[in-house]
Amino acid sequence: MTPVTPVTPAVPAVPAASAARPGRRRLRGWPVTLVLAAVTGLSIAPFYWLVVSATLTDNEIFSWPPHLLPGSHLGENLRHLQDRVGLGRVVLNSLLVSGIQTVGALVVALLAGYAFAKFRFRGRTVLFAVLLSTLVVPDQVMLVPLFKMMMSFGLLDSYQALILPGLCVPFAIFLMRQALSSMPDELLDAARVDGAGELRVLFGVVVPVMRPVLAALGIFLFLGSWNNFVWPLIALRSPEMHTMPVALATLQGMKTNTDYGPILAGTALSTLPMMVLFLVLQRQFISGLLAGATKG
């Protein structure tokens, strides 16, 4: 198989045959579409409730039967949210932390994954096993030592305290290695024969081909960072530094002393950047391969 051959995004239908019978082809698409629509419906229904609830008063949220259409309380909920947590600053913090962390972790994982997948070196297996094994250590036990360490670095309550621990992500390295090991060596060797240095090979040849994987991984890393709660809660002190989940947690009080409207409005709001990112990046992992492979 020739690695540079463009790969079409779709699972094949014989082009000639399908072109000849466009009507039947369209018909055949409907069952799959319907099934997907049903699954999507199930996925979205709870989410729809979230969005509707963001526009309701607390009492409306807790009423039965549930409200199916948006109410008129969105502005009020958002204003409450703004008063209590300062939305702009919080969203900015979250974007900054998640953005830097995602890009950083992608680079770290790409470099490490490339090393593991395409080089033989002393300690390779051991290093990989050690990295991978920490994937299974529950995060909760690392909180206290990590907290002490950040304290002694004088980094508590800083962006670095949030970003640094999230730059080496074993799962990302694992994914990059898996993806890169299925990439044909011939492609790399061709570039090396042309005299390209390793970084040139990596960013000129590997990255374009790996764009779908990088895009998908980027979404996951961003998602993980965006929703990260416990560590930022512990590591931050000033409200000006709060990220979205930490800020939303401050809206929770004892027992019933909680206004759910603003919390749900905040939650709905905080999913927006993720969706935008997904919409932007999905193009990459759906059709990106085609462009990448030909360019490489």
If binding is defined by CB under 8 A, does position 248 make contact with another protein? yes
Distance (Å, whole) CA 258 – CA 262 = 9
If binding is defined by CB under 8 A, does position 96 make contact with another protein? no
Asked whether 227 and 249 are in contact (CB, 8 A), the reply is no
Among positions 40, 72, 82, 294, the unique one binding another protein when judged by CB under 8 A: 40
Give the phi and the psi of residue 67 in degrees, each rounded to 5: -70, 135
If binding is defined by CB under 8 A, does position 264 make contact with another protein? yes
In whole angstroms, the minimum distance from the beta carbon of 269 to another protein comes to: 10
Asked whether 78 and 86 are in contact (CB, 8 A), the reply is no
75/272 with CB nearer another protein: 272
Torsion, Cα 258 261 267 271, to 10 degrees, reads 180
DSSP assignment letter at 67? P
Among positions 52, 56, 58, 90, the unique one binding another protein when judged by CB under 8 A: 58
If binding is defined by CB under 8 A, does position 168 make contact with another protein? yes
Distance (Å, whole) CA 294 – CA 296 = 5
Token pair 């969706």: residue: 275
Contact set for another protein, span 184-203 (CB under 8 A): 185, 188-189, 192-193, 195-200
If binding is defined by CB under 8 A, does position 126 make contact with another protein? no
Among positions 16, 88, 126, 253, the unique one binding another protein when judged by CB under 8 A: 253
If binding is defined by CB under 8 A, does position 21 make contact with another protein? no
Among positions 80, 98, 206, 245, the unique one binding another protein when judged by CB under 8 A: 245
69/121 with CB nearer another protein: 121
If binding is defined by CB under 8 A, does position 156 make contact with another protein? yes
If binding is defined by CB under 8 A, does position 76 make contact with another protein? no
Tell me the residue length of the chain.
296
If binding is defined by CB under 8 A, does position 84 make contact with another protein? yes
If binding is defined by CB under 8 A, does position 296 make contact with another protein? no
Q: Considering Cα of 29, then 288, then 296, then 223, what sign does the dihedral take?
A: negative
If binding is defined by CB under 8 A, does position 163 make contact with another protein? yes
In whole angstroms, the minimum distance from the beta carbon of 190 to another protein comes to: 10
Contacts with another protein by CB under 8 A: the residue count is: 155
Show the DSSP H helices in 56-163 as ranges: 58-61, 74-85, 87-118, 124-133, 143-153, 159-163
Distance (Å, whole) CA 98 – CA 104 = 10
Among positions 165, 261, 262, 296, the unique one binding another protein when judged by CB under 8 A: 165
- Nearest alpha-carbon partner for 79 in 289, 269, 271, 253: 269
Distance (Å, whole) CA 29 – CA 31 = 6
In whole angstroms, the minimum distance from the beta carbon of 234 to another protein comes to: 5
